[in-house]
Amino acid sequence: MRTIGTQALLTLISHFIFIFVAFWSIQKLHIENVMRLYPTQARVLIVMLSVAVGYTCSSFFLNFIDNVRNLIYMFK
């Protein structure tokens, strides 16, 4: 049970870190300048894109690490 809790905590931390990095990166694109008439919607778009990109990247890296760990069973 303890390893499941540790894995859940690691997953949450990974998701939040990748979402933060995606948010930081997407802000540099200055989408709000393109959408001058809709600044509130531009901010919401930035947040939604950040969550989508960050979650996807985090899931990829967590699955990659999990698959590399499972390669051991192929050679036993």
Domain limits, the chain: 2-75
Residues 50-74 have pLDDT tens digits of 999 999 999 999 999 999 999 988 8
> For the whole model, what pTM was predicted?
0.86
Q: What is the mean pLDDT of the chain?
A: 93
Tell me how far apart the alpha carbons of residues 67 and 52 are, in angstroms, rounded to a whole number: 22
8 half-sphere exposure, CB direction, 13 A CA radius: 5
